[in-house]
Structure 1
Amino acid sequence: MNKAQILTLFVLLHLASIFAIFPERIISATSKGHWIPITILFLAELLVLWLYLKALSQFPGRTVVDICKDSLGNWGTRLIVLPLLIFLYIELFLLMYFQAGEIKAVLLQRTPPAATGALFIVICFYAVWKGLNVIIRASIGLCILLMPFIFFSMLISIQNFRISYIFPIWDSEMTFFSNSDFYVCTVISAGFLFLGMIPSKQRISFGKAAAAVGVIFVFALGSVYVPLLVFGQETVVHLQYPMLMASDTIDLEWVVFDWLPSFYVVASSALGVLKVSVLLWILVFILQQLFMPKINRLWILSLACVSLYLISLWIPDMNALNSYLYLNSYFCVYSVLGFPIIVFLAAQWQRKKVGT
């Protein structure tokens, strides 16, 4: 793998969350000045990303697990990664349920959710079994194949924009800080966690990572403001798939583009497979490194996939999904904010011990 491939995967993992849940959560979190919470989320990610990469650059060839084990010991490391494991597990079956629901709503209305979920988890199982190197290389192909459809589906909706829907553009009260949906949106930052699980001596620089975050920020703004400028706040707040609905408002004469919502669902589902595969790989990696070192990796992966599939079948409806999302937001905030800070502090402590 090279730095370009890692950066591509970094971008695609963020986009997977953005097109899955980000627009409706931001729109639910605030009714005005939507760019403000988006900007705050990305500024917070830049800060913790700098701390994360700084810690990794001080110990080339070592993972965050190695850094924490050297500083905190095995039990200390197990304690700090436990909330991360809970976040990964809940996020995995929520993503599976959401993607299966989106596919059923647009492409496979008559297919049972159990069959759609089974196909989804089998693809992810195969990807994780082949390893992270294969997933990273596959991300290049997915980027070339999928990004044109996503980009086009966002741009084509411009003809239906009503600029007046952008106002008011300032939220002086910033009430979104007290809204649970704002903290659910922190899941988009989970896209950088895999950087600390790769034992590579060639780390990407913060400058390149920050540039990638800038590109992701533009897509995040577009995912919120495209449906907002098409439908308005009063309408879009009630939509379950705002970006999908925005692309479906365009009536094109070309037959291939008349299927644009289907292309969008295929593209977003492929990104979902990519993110589930990477998060599942991280889950298996941590479990084998810290909790099940003597158990074969394939058995850990099989057990995780079967349990995730069964739990995803027990989610009765979208209301239950929302309750799990709010519960997982606590673990998510820790994983994307608290965990990188702990890794940074552990790296500084270990560096001081080595220096003395």
Structure 2
Amino acid sequence: MLIYIISHLGIIFFLYPGNIIASTNQGHWAPILIGIVFHFVLILIYMKGLSFFPNKDVISIYSGIGKITTFLFLTPTLIYFIMVIIIAVRAYAEIINIVFLSHTPIWAIMILLLSTITYMAAKGIEVIFRTGLLLAFLFLPIILFILILSFQNVDWRYAIPIDSDFRFITKPVFFQSFSAFAGGFLFLGFVQPYFSYEKKGVLLAAGILIPCFILSVYIPILTFGQSTASPLFLPFVVVLDSTKITWLMFERVTMFFLLSLITFVIVYTSLTTWKTIRIINHYIPSIKPVFLLVSFSGLVFFTGLLIPDWKDVEKLLWWNTFFRFYSYIAIPLSLCFFGLRLVRKGKNETI
């Protein structure tokens, strides 16, 4: 449950608010609600599909069905994971550069991030989970505390009007907002041989995230208004910068909030890197996973250097939309389909 929560939090408070605020001028609850409902439906389908194949991960499930099936579903997912890692390392290196280390070159920050990510991925899924649990216990109380403080300057009149015209469905930024939903739950199909989980626990974790999706968007709107919040870069971070706390010994709560979320992003990216190497190793079993991991990290680093600025990061986010939705939708539906077909074959053989 905690890994599920922290896998989403780092993405929610950074990119998600700007995408939703830019997608519509009023009634922001509508795009948020659509994303949440879509998320819950696909989680249920995904876990239902996995339940047909106990103690098997996604790779072994598809490889057991056939090579064509493996190629059709794992290859687009692999491309999606690779682009997510490149975008995450490059984007969060720039965020760290803007907020914390303004005089440090981005390549140096990328090396620091990639070194940590590569080390955790090399140690395996158990180390990633243990690290995630430790960070969750350390930083989740801080994030909850800062969320409460962020209500300091809200004006509830900015919530009006609440009606929505649903024209946001045609805007690219709305589809980009699904990046906060898409990557987080797919790890359930990769860790199944190593860890067990309960459906109720996963759904509870997804339910805990609902207020985070809502608050990440509405706190900037209630603080600045739609017209002021829409052009802001990282609107929720700007809200925290405007929060004044005289009784706290630290002047900037933004620093603690961002550091907490960046540690969550590192765990999420390490988990995604581990999944990526497992898929690559399935295609190239002759090469040791450690060598694949080091080579892949080098590829991510040099690719990140080729991305000049934030506009190009946003282009990559848009180009990754097809692979994001393909993995987001096709993996759960296909697993459920193959699982139901397996059950029907079993019944026919019994008869």
1:4 is matched with: none
Instruction: Report the Cα distance in structure 2 between the residues aligned to 1:213 and 1:97, rounded to whole angstroms.
Output: 27
2:258 is matched with: 265
Mark the runs of 5 or more structure 1 residues left unpaired by the alignment: 1-6
Instruction: Report the Cα distance in structure 1 between the residues aligned to 2:33 and 2:310, rounded to whole angstroms.
Output: 28
State the aligned residue count: 347
1:329 is matched with: 321
2:43 is matched with: 49
Q: Cα distance, 1:294 vs. partner? A: 1.6
Q: Cα distance, 1:202 vs. partner? A: 6.4
Instruction: Report the Cα distance in structure 1 between the residues aligned to 2:169 and 2:270, rounded to whole angstroms.
Output: 31
Deviations 1:98-153 (A, max 9, x none): 11111111111111101001000000000000101111111111111111222222
1:293 is matched with: 285
Deviations 1:53-100 (A, max 9, x none): 1121122111122222222x0232122211111111111111111111
- What pairs with 1:66-85 in structure 2 (closer than 5 Å)? 66-71=60-65, 73-85=66-78
Is 1:65 the equivalent of 2:59? yes
Deviations 1:308-330 (A, max 9, x none): 11111111111111111111111
Shift in CA distance, 252/283, structure 1 to aligned 2, threshold 3 Å: same
Counterpart of 1:169 in 2: which secondary structure? coil
Q: Cα distance, 1:176 vs. partner? A: 1.4
Is 1:108 the equivalent of 2:63? no
Instruction: Report the Cα distance in structure 2 between the residues aligned to 1:280 and 1:204, rounded to whole angstroms.
Output: 21
2:334 is matched with: 342
Counterpart of 2:178 in 1: which secondary structure? helix
2:309 is matched with: 317
**Contact 1:57/1:203 (<8 A) preserved:** no
- What pairs with 1:232-311 in structure 2 (closer than 5 Å)? 232-254=225-247, 256-289=249-282, 291-311=283-303
Counterpart of 1:12 in 2: which secondary structure? helix
Amino acid corresponding to residue 212 of structure 2 in structure 1 = F
Instruction: Report the Cα distance in structure 1 between the residues aligned to 2:196 and 2:70, rounded to whole angstroms.
Output: 22
Sequence identity (%): 27
Counterpart of 1:257 in 2: which secondary structure? coil
Deviations 1:227-267 (A, max 9, x none): 11111110111111111110110122245331211112211
1:93 is matched with: 86
Is 1:16 the equivalent of 2:10? yes
Amino acid corresponding to residue 182 of structure 1 in structure 2 = F
- What pairs with 1:130-169 in structure 2 (closer than 5 Å)? 130-169=123-162
Instruction: Report the Cα distance in structure 2 between the residues aligned to 1:84 and 1:134, rounded to whole angstroms.
Output: 24
Shift in CA distance, 329/22, structure 1 to aligned 2, threshold 3 Å: same
1:195 is matched with: 188
Instruction: Report the Cα distance in structure 2 between the residues aligned to 1:148 and 1:283, rounded to whole angstroms.
Output: 31
2:22 is matched with: 28
Instruction: Report the Cα distance in structure 2 between the residues aligned to 1:271 and 1:59, rounded to whole angstroms.
Output: 30
Q: Cα distance, 1:201 vs. partner? A: 8.1
Amino acid corresponding to residue 11 of structure 2 in structure 1 = S
**TM-score normalised to structure 2 length:** 0.95
RMSD value over aligned CA atoms?
Answer: 1.5
Amino acid corresponding to residue 9 of structure 1 in structure 2 = I
**Contact 2:49/2:333 (<8 A) preserved:** no
Moved more, 126-135 or 54-63: 54-63
**Contact 1:70/1:350 (<8 A) preserved:** no
**Contact 2:14/2:236 (<8 A) preserved:** no
Amino acid corresponding to residue 313 of structure 1 in structure 2 = L
Instruction: Report the Cα distance in structure 2 between the residues aligned to 1:32 and 1:13, rounded to whole angstroms.
Output: 29
1:183 is matched with: 175
